[in-house]
Structure 1
């Protein structure tokens, strides 16, 4: 069986964020909390949006204390800000951390229990305030998803999954990516690629999710390199579109072992989520190939790999293409190169198996398997070692 439920309206186009005021006016909002970070403020990206709100006679208050990988305190502060400013709607502008903070704060606005009591699936009882999301990176997909992630006091990133979390409207404006530094285009783009590949290859079959994932992979394979190198609006727009498609894909099909392992890396060592995914992706792909060579061959074809003599050969070429892509984008080959302490591995292994993504990975996974993948990704050994 397959199920698709996506109540979000998506507006895509150059300059679409300048109409944000009319969007909140149609939702009958009078005072909006803008959730963002100081980088977005300094870049000036909010100016056209706040002017649009003012033109529609909608007041706003800016919460700009979003942290990377938002924790409980950050989410609680955003909730208190919402109440103190007497807001009736939320606008999230930024990357995944801003959008996740906005979602989690919205949960607390309309639900009375502590945020961590809502972890897991369908624990939320009440609909969030009207939420509009405006991504400024090309990786999170959070602008359309049914999940938010909050880091607990033990550095574990816990997902909260509910249809109530899906935003009312997602505004995709390629103009907002023009000032994104190349390294962030690269890391967030690899995050989107990971979302799409894991949604396509895991054990959950969903025709809609697979279609979105394949188109996302095709667009990323075509546009990520030039988007990072040249920052032209056409390729950035394709990457933004691909990121949202990948977000839709994992909303209906979920993820896999890369995310189960990358969340502990970010939680324990503070490595940006997209970078952690990018380092792990070729290792986990190589390990997983025997579990679903057909889907990995489809991913390879979408990345531009020409037909091979069989599916496994195509799948192997897909891994090589991801290794090549990481290299061309300047993604480090290993966690050692990123300064991660190898002594963290035991704790990260333990947290990996707290993730529900392990159960839907296309290949069954043991503790020793995860240890081996972590050790190879720390040292920078060839990911192809799992298949050679």
Structure 2
């Protein structure tokens, strides 16, 4: 059985973020905690947003201690700040870390359990305060998802899954992406591509998720190169919208082995999530191809691959296209290039199998399989090694 439940309202378009004051007015909020990070603030992206709140007579206070891959301390500090300032709503402005921090803080505000105790599905018992999300990257899709991720004291990235974590409103304003450096457009864009590919090819079936995933892959395949080149607002718009579509797809259909393996890499080695996904993606696609060749052929066709004879050849061409994308976008070739140490592999392998995404991966996975993929992606071996 499949289920489609999308309580979020999506507003999109150039300068759509400057309507945020009226959005919170309609939610009957009078004082909002704005959750963001130093990069967003220094780029001046909050200026018009804060003015919109002020013009609507909505008071705002800023929590800007967001850290990459937010940990328990970060989200508890945000909760305490919200309570001490007597806020009645939350606005997240930023990438996945800011939106995840806002979601987790919101869960702590209305629920008494420790945040790590809410790990897994359906353990957030009470609705969050009114939450609106404005993404400033084109990767996580967190503005529409039912997930937040918090890093615990053992470096494990704890996924928390609940419909209560879906923001009330997602505001997609491409103008907020124009100051992103090319490397961040590339990494977050490949994160979005990974979301769509895994949602489309895993064992779960959801026709709506598949439709969103295929469209997201098509859009990313066309737009990611010009978007990463800089100065192309149309391409950045396409990437932002594709990221949201990919977020919808994996909210409905979940993910797969790339995410099961990339979370430990970020948790233990501090590799940015999008970079970890991008490096792993062609290796896992190659490994998984025999488990769902038809699904990976759909991926290839969505990426523009035509004229190949047979399902397997088309699917393999899709893997080659992703390898080429990584190269063109300047994604590091191997985990050795980004400072991962081989002595971390045993811990990372253990944590990989804590993820529920392993069970829905299109091909059955053993610890040895994960070790081989980690070793190959560490050394920078050909990602086609499983299908050559």
TM-score class, shorter:
over 0.9
Q: Is the 8 A contact 1:121 1:161 kept in 2?
A: yes
Q: Provide, for residues 49-73 of structure 1, a one-character-per-residue CA deviation record: whole Å limited to 9, x for no partner.
A: 0000000000000000000000000
Match of 2:218 in 1: 218
| Mapped partners of 2:367, 2:28: distance in 1 | 51
Match of 2:328 in 1: 328
Query: For 1:52-201, what aligned pairs fall within 5 Å after superposition?
Result: 52-201=52-201
| SS of residue matched to 2:337 | coil
Shift of 1:76: 0.2
Match of 2:308 in 1: 308
| Mapped partners of 1:12, 1:74: distance in 2 | 29
Shift of 1:230: 2.7
Query: For 1:235-314, what aligned pairs fall within 5 Å after superposition?
Result: 235-314=235-314
| Mapped partners of 2:318, 2:116: distance in 1 | 38
| Mapped partners of 1:328, 1:250: distance in 2 | 26
Q: Is the 8 A contact 1:301 1:307 kept in 2?
A: no
5+ long unaligned stretches in structure 2: none
| SS of residue matched to 1:362 | coil
Shift of 1:310: 0.7
Match of 1:36 in 2: 36
| SS of residue matched to 2:34 | strand
| Mapped partners of 1:272, 1:237: distance in 2 | 23
Shift of 1:113: 1.1
Runs of 4+ off more than 2 Å: none
| SS of residue matched to 1:340 | coil
Q: TM-score, normalised by structure 2?
A: 1.00
| Mapped partners of 1:368, 1:116: distance in 2 | 29
Match of 1:378 in 2: 378
| SS of residue matched to 1:331 | coil
Match of 2:46 in 1: 46
Q: Provide, for residues 344-374 of structure 1, a one-character-per-residue CA deviation record: whole Å limited to 9, x for no partner.
A: 1111000000000000000000000000000
Shift of 1:231: 3.0
Shift of 1:339: 1.4
| Mapped partners of 1:117, 1:189: distance in 2 | 31
Q: Is the 8 A contact 1:104 1:115 kept in 2?
A: yes
| SS of residue matched to 2:132 | strand
Query: For 1:1-40, what aligned pairs fall within 5 Å after superposition?
Result: 1-40=1-40
| Mapped partners of 2:322, 2:271: distance in 1 | 20
Query: For 1:328-367, what aligned pairs fall within 5 Å after superposition?
Result: 328-367=328-367
